[in-house]
């Protein structure tokens, strides 16, 4: 493409406004969190963020988010497959409802999941006789985090699956591959970047989640207390520096994940455009 002078107006105004608004709403407030931690010495900071109760919350938050994201990767791929390849009654409705976790307020999701998975709930009462307790245990945290991450994998994999050309699969079949071989060696490799992006998005969302978890978790220190709740608890005790220290640990991890996701999306788009 030949480089020519851009004649459209409004560059300075639109970019200036974008940068101003971004700074006022996002960048300056976020930097406040990092500045606040400088009130603590390094030793104090370390003591706060490695306290046993805080470490237990990291383990729960990251562990449950990971399990939720893995569940979503498996069943999200399956759901995307079913929605693009097959027809069944009510498919359009199911397709639209997959986005429900994006639209449903997290507090509503939290009390609804608790009602369903409590020992007297619709599903909880079936699981309870088998010795499985979901609500008010770490398992409940997994259920909530699976719920809120559910649309990500479906919605990243679905468009890639729709764009796959039937010819490739025909070629594989004519070369003697059975259906499973075609799936695992031809289709799945093409889906990897999208699948991984969806997985990372679901994981990143789950780590920060608060509303849907606190109702179902039971919030017992050392057992079922997530990291965002630790921040809230410290704030309620007016321990601003402590709350901010834990928040900064989470922020750093979230930023690393965000960059990883952007890299993944770039890889994914790059592969799609390269194959065209």
Partner 1 sequence: MSATIVSQLHSYNKKVARSRATSEPAWVRWSLIAVSLLFLSLFLFIPLAAVFTEALRKGFGAYIAALVDPDALSAIKLTVIAAAISLPLNLVFGVAAAWAIAKFDFRGKSILITLIDLPFAVSPVIAGLIYVLIFGMQGWFGEWLIDHDHKVIFAIPGIVLATIFVTFPFIARELIPLMQAQGKEEEEAGLVLGANGWQILWRITLPNIKWGLLYGVILTNARAMGEFGAVSVVSGHIRGLTNTMPLHVEILYNEYNYAAAFAVASLLAFLALLTLALKSFIEWQASRDVIIDEQIEE
User: Of residues 174-233, which lie at the interface with partner 1 (CB under 8 A)?
Assistant: 174, 179, 182, 197-198, 201, 204-205, 207-211, 215, 228, 231-232
Least separation in angstroms between residue 131's CB and partner 1 is 18
Other Cβ atoms closer than 10 A to 54 = 21
Between 51 and 177, whose beta carbon lies closer to partner 1?
Answer: 177
In a 10 Å sphere around its CB, with 0-12 CB exposed, 13-18 middle and 19+ buried, how is residue 235 labelled? middle
Q: Which of 257, 256, 254, 248 is nearest to 37 (CA)?
A: 248
Using the contact rule CB under 8 A, the part of the chain among 43-51, 52-60, 97-105, 217-225 near partner 1 is 97-105
> Rule CB under 8 A: is residue 75 a binding residue for partner 1?
yes
* Binding residue count for partner 1, defined by CB under 8 A: 101
Least separation in angstroms between residue 99's CB and partner 1 is 6
Between 9 and 131, whose beta carbon lies closer to partner 1?
Answer: 9
> Rule CB under 8 A: is residue 173 a binding residue for partner 1?
yes
Among 66, 70, 104, 223, binds partner 1 (CB under 8 A): 104
Segment 119-158, which members bind partner 1 (CB under 8 A)? 121-123, 143, 146-147, 150, 152, 155-156, 158
Q: Count how many Cα atoms sit within 13 Å of the Cα of residue 250 in the half-sphere of its side chain.
A: 27
Least separation in angstroms between residue 217's CB and partner 1 is 14
CA distance 192 to 245: 36
- With beta carbons less than 8 A apart as the criterion, state whether 245 and 48 touch: yes
> Rule CB under 8 A: is residue 116 a binding residue for partner 1?
yes
DSSP 27-79: IHHHHHHHHHHTTS-HHHHHHHHT-HHHHHHHHHHHHHHHHHHHHHHHHHHHH
Binding mask 36-55 for partner 1 (x = CB under 8 A): x-------------------
Segment 232-251, which members bind partner 1 (CB under 8 A)? 232, 235, 240, 243-244, 247, 250-251
In degrees to the nearest 10, what's the CA dihedral of 104, 127, 131, 120? 70
CA 252 from centroid of its chain's CA atoms? 16
Give the single-character DSSP code of 209: -
């Amino acid at each position: 493409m030949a480089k020519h002078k851009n004649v459209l107006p409004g560059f300075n105004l639109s970019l200036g406004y974008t940068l101003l608004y971004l700074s006022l709403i996002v960048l300056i407030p976020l930097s406040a969190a990092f500045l606040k931690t400088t009130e603590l010495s390094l030793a104090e900071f370390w003591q706060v963020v490695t306290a046993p109760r805080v470490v237990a919350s990291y383990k729960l938050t990251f562990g449950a988010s990971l399990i939720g994201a893995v569940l979503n990767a498996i069943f999200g791929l399956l759901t995307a497959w079913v929605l693009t390849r097959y027809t069944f009654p009510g498919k359009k409705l199911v397709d639209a409802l997959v986005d429900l976790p994006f639209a449903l307020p997290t507090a509503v999701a939290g009390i609804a999941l608790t009602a369903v998975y409590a020992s007297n709930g619709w599903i909880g009462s079936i699981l309870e006789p088998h010795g499985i307790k979901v609500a008010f245990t770490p398992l409940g945290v997994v259920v909530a985090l699976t719920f809120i991450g559910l649309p990500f994998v479906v919605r990243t994999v679905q468009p890639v699956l729709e764009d796959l050309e039937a010819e490739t699969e025909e070629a594989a079949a004519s070369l003697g591959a059975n259906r499973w071989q075609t799936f695992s060696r031809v289709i799945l490799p093409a889906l990897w970047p999208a699948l991984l992006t969806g997985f990372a998005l679901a994981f990143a969302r789950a780590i920060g989640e608060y509303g849907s978890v606190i109702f179902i978790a039971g919030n017992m220190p050392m057992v079922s207390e997530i990291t965002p709740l630790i921040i809230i608890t410290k704030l309620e005790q007016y321990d601003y520096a402590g709350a901010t220290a834990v928040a900064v640990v989470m922020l750093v991890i979230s930023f690393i994940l965000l960059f990883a996701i952007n890299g993944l999306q770039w890889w994914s788009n790059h592969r799609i455009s390269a194959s065209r």
